[in-house]
Amino acid sequence: MEIGKQEFFKIFASNFNYEIVDTKVGQAIKMPARDAFIYSSITGAGYLDNPSYPFTPKGLMKLFYNALNYKFVTGIFDNTTLKHTPYLLNKAKPYIFEGDKYILPVEFTSDGDLERVITEVLEVVENPNDYLIQRIELRKKGNGMEPFMEYLASEYFKKEGYIVETQVPLAHSIGSPDFAGYGINEITKEISDSFQLTEGFHLIELSMIRACTNNRIDYSAQAKNDIIVGEAKTSTKVVAKQLEKYLDTGLFDEGYEINPLKDSPEKDYFGLVSIGKDYQLNVKKPDAKYNVVNGMPKQEYINWLVNYYKFYLIANLTNDELNSLYQEKRNGLIRNKDDISTLISELSLAEIIKIVKSL
């Protein structure tokens, strides 16, 4: 199935409870502000706050280049400074977490076509900041909808009890998986119980606690006890080689093809996330276990993931609060990125949860 504007609405109608509404500029998906922020972070759908460069937090919610180390990519942190956190973004752009938002899918074949649509929207709607443009690029094979498939996989697996993430840091030589789901029972439960989260959630939601105090997740699935990985494609059915590279690390228990074009996975040790003829999201688990020959130390990865979660939680602080915390715990000033990593490593998850809950 190729995903265009018509399929986009049918997929939402078949899989979600979001309302499809008529607006002055056509049909749109109505979402609460919190959900729209997560949607934009994954798909790159842009808020119409700027006609030339619609704002999206996609790419700004990242922390590290690779797993098992703490080298910052510019995103939530810029060197030693908290920069693109949801709390700070909300201060700079208050509309982000206010009211409802409208996801407007736009098919286009050239940048000029897209610009004309955006201009028309800006001329008609009263609050353009409430509209997000979902690009459907007809000039590309697969319409450039891989991030949308990542979103669908994330929504499914978080309801299965996983902490989910897209564009996952792993290693330069291996690549960055499009999707991962972390099922670490004791860690998930500690976080969920602390913030009244009773199901899986997207990893960036840990950084949104202060910005979205009135929006809690409220589901009932149990946390999982495994780690899964996925690769999304909408322009080809071939994915085995890349997915096997991820599984060869030994860090993941299952690998999933995320592809609307397929009815069955390429290998029996792959799972599949696809879209049926009824537009329902179909998820098939692997029939066999993948045989890892020389994998990486999984417990070391899990330990790193716990610190990874703590970094997202600490992103609820302001820079002044982070500096004060460092002064209190280490009796000094933050001089470099290693100082921040040392602080986070020395603080327990329970301590950081207590700090965030006190804000």
DSSP sequence for 112-160: HHHHHHHHHHHHH-S-GGGEEEEEEETTSGGGG-HHHHHHHHHHHHHTT
pLDDT for 224 beyond 90? no
pLDDT at 64 over 90: yes
Separation in Å, CA 5 to CA 39, 146, 155, 202, 262: 17, 14, 20, 25, 20
For 188-206, what is the mean pLDDT?
79
Residues 173 and 231 in one domain: yes
Residues 27 and 137 in one domain: yes
Task: Classify residue 242: in a domain, yes or no.
Answer: yes
Using the 3D structure, point to which of 107, 123, 144 is the last residue of a domain: 144
Q: What is the pLDDT of residue 221?
A: 59
In a domain, 332, yes or no: yes
SS3 302: helix
My answer on whether 277 and 201 are in the same domain is: yes
Among 221, 255, 284, the domain boundary falls at 284
Q: Which domain holds residue 19?
A: 5-55+93-144
Is residue 198 in some structural domain? yes
* The predicted structure's pLDDT at residue 184: 78
pLDDT confidence tier of residue 71, bands split at 50, 70 and 90: very high
Q: Evaluate whether residue 342 is within a structural domain.
A: yes
Per-residue pLDDT averaged across 184-200, rounded? 73
Is 184 part of any domain?
yes
**Dist CA 316 CA 255 (whole Å):** 32
Q: How many domains is the chain built from? A: 3
213 with 257, same domain: the answer is yes
% of the chain beyond a pLDDT of 90: 88
User: Using 50, 70 and 90 to split pLDDT, how confident is the model at 187?
Assistant: confident
The distance from CA 235 to its chain's CA centroid, rounded to whole angstroms, is 21
Residues 236 and 339 in one domain: no
Long-range contacts, 290-293 (Cβ 8 Å, 24+): 290/244, 290/247, 290/254, 290/255, 292/247, 292/248, 292/249, 292/250, 293/248
Lowest mean pLDDT: which of 121-135, 157-171, 214-228, 246-260?
214-228
Domain match, 250 and 340 both: no
> What separation in angstroms does the CA of 173 have from each of 67, 249, 295?
12, 11, 15
Q: Would you say residue 270 has pLDDT above 80?
A: yes
Question: Considering the entire predicted model, what is its pTM?
Answer: 0.95
CA distance 38 to 16: 15
pLDDT at 215: 46
Residues 46 and 100 reside in one and the same domain: yes
**Is position 78 within any domain?**
no
Instruction: Give the pLDDT band (50/70/90) at residue 197.
Output: low
Q: In whole numbers, what is the pLDDT of the chain averaged over residues?
A: 93
pLDDT, one tens digit per residue, over 83-120 is 999 999 999 999 999 999 999 999 999 989 999 999 99
Whether 49 and 130 map to the same domain: the answer is: yes
The answer to whether residue 353 scores a pLDDT higher than 80 is yes
* pLDDT over 90 at 234, yes or no: yes
Final residue in a domain of this structure, among 252, 284, 316: 284
- Indicate whether 268 and 330 sit together in one domain: no
Same domain? For 20 and 99 the reply is yes
Tokens 């009211």, located at residue:
99
DSSP string of 184-231, one letter each residue: -HHHHHHHHHHTT--S-EEGGGGGSTTTTTT------PPPPSSEEEEE
36 and 136 part of one domain: yes
Residue 281 has pLDDT above 90, yes or no: yes
Sorting pLDDT into bands at 50, 70 and 90, what band is 186? confident
Please give the DSSP secondary-structure letter assigned to residue 266: S
Whether 209 is covered by a domain: the verdict is yes
Q: Residue 62: pLDDT above 80?
A: yes
Residue 180: φ, ψ to 5°: -145, 150
Is residue 267 a part of any domain in this protein? yes
Query: Is the same domain home to 328 and 199?
Result: no
Question: Alpha-carbon dihedral of residues 167, 170, 176, 182, nearest 10 degrees?
Answer: -50
Residue 56 has pLDDT above 50, yes or no: yes
CA-CA distance, 278 to 27, in Å (whole number)? 20
Residue 199 has pLDDT above 70, yes or no: no
- Cβ contacts of 228 within 8 Å, gap of 6 or more: 157, 162, 180, 181, 183, 252, 253, 254, 255, 256, 271
Tell which wins on pLDDT, 155 or 359: 155
pLDDT bucket at 223, cuts 50 / 70 / 90: low
Across 321-332, average pLDDT: 96
